[in-house]
Structure 1
Amino acid sequence: MFAVTRSKSKQVKATEESVPGTGADYSGTDESGTDGPGTNDLGTDESGTNDLGTIGSGTDGLEDEPTAASRSPDCQDSEEDPEDVRRERWRRICSHQAHDPGLAPLVKFLRGETEHLSLKQSALLAKIADQFVLDSRNALFYVSRNTPERPGDAADHLRLVVPRDLHEDILHHCHADSHGAHQGIIRTYERLRKEFYWIGMFKDTERYVKECVDCVTAKGLPRNPGPSPGNLLATRPFQVVSMDFVLLLPRSARGNTALLLFQCAFSGFIMCKAMASTEVQDMSEAYEECVFRRFGPVR
């Protein structure tokens, strides 16, 4: 099977094993970082609009609209031919791609159907056409390439371009089902990035994970530790005094096993007191002896 570009002389080999949904798992990571929030050369932003406009019809009249019920294995007939299921799955994907407002112009351009495209649209599409290919089923793929920022990416690795109508289905399978196991934002995004592509994928992943009911109810909110004592700034000597213990020292002749340290936050002056106990009463007496009697109360 070969993927076809707008040039008949340029072909990229693709197999069904390179696409999840045909049996491949979702593990691993591979992407060039262009999936995060932002826009591409098409002018498409995360709201789904682009500078190219739309061609033909929108998403009205799509057949086999994906629903939550389609995610359940109970809805599939156990006696159904796996090949028929696979063909139907690819038919749905190609149909959604052909009717997606952001992908339809690109699909038409790669097919050579440029009579309905303006000169501006054709010029913009020509700049990015080499990053996408169509296979023999007319399914649209994104070609991952090595970059200086991500040199470990596989060269010419094909990733399925997911139309907007199927974003929620893909996010569900990579986060909430047995493959995803309700991982966090980064791990869910790594699973997606290996086999799928769409503009704003990281932002959509972040939103989906934060809105996941199971994750919100099962994971506690982080504690608020309050302001750090390090935010206190001294403007004069002995305005702020810190203290700390050095423990587990060899026992001295008087039975002392610890050092209590006092330090002026302004000048850095340090005072030490050998201690045999770390009880509060002993600490108070040491503070009175080393600090209060010498320098007065801390203000």
Structure 2
Amino acid sequence: MRSGGGPGLGAKLRLEDVVTRIGAFTLGPVNLEVGDGEVALIFGPNGAGKSTLLKTILGLYRPERGRVLIDDVDVTNVPVNRREVGYVPQSLALFDHMSVRDNIEFGLKVRGVPKEERGRAVKEVAERLHIEDFLDRRASELSWGQAQRVAIARAVITRPKVLLLDEPASGLDPWSADYLADLIVYVRDELKVATIVVSQYAGKLLRASTRLLFMSNGKLYDLGPVERALTSPMKAEAAAYLGYDNVIPCKALGNLCEGSKSLALRYSSVQVGEAPCDGLQLKGWLEQIYADVDGSLRARVDLNGVKVTGLLKGKVEGRDVYVCIKIDSAALVE
């Protein structure tokens, strides 16, 4: 999958220079490709345009310019119900008065699929997603995690070419989020559906994803495969969403790196106190010491006008402290 460049062979979904305007907000231009069996995880702040992008792909919003292609067919002006796109909104949008079974088979029923064939399809997807025990319950009786599985089952039972998941991890406890990741892995590896997941934070669904993209102010930035994106997030704003506690402008570090860029570091790569240093050692002003949930002590330091968080190591006397930065574990970002 690529988010820029010319047309790519084998892309199930392709967006070419898509621009969508909703009121004063502008999305794009967006260039994006997602292939079969790929999971593109798009993360970023609220209001960045993530849901607008999904609704443009789905056909709920019509782009002002550009094209949306599925299997190399231009579907920009094709109605929602003819795009072969599965969609799970953040609200899930289940029919509360209907049973789980009726919710799941709804898409097949409106397509005129015979009852016996619908029954086989529901049985198969229910077993795959472990929801066979409550097929006859009303949707209103389900927990949020159960309802989410039903919504995904309803989206994939029609065998869409593209699957869109809008904030699927929102409101889930850690166990449910981990189970959700398993479901996405199933869609990725077994169904081979080209999938886009949008989320404010990437952490809960990283293991199910093949590629990370960051969205901010209507612009989409391709960070590359997950492994590369985690070690080299490219954008300073994206680094903060990927667990980097510190983004230090190069100008605060002397001539260490290009002045217009910054170094992104996790707190474990910054040590505060009089201890042996195997990196760059600077002096800073100690602002705060506090305990983390794992029992370790963290220190908040003013380093040449930049607030930095690190591990407290060694002796500290007074407010003037040594700060050791492990440069080899830093990522250069813009």
When the two structures are superposed, what TM-score results if normalisation uses the length of structure 1?
0.21
When the two structures are superposed, what TM-score results if normalisation uses the length of structure 2?
0.20
Query: Which structure's residues are more often strand, by fraction?
Result: 2
Query: Which structure's residues are more often helix, by fraction?
Result: 1
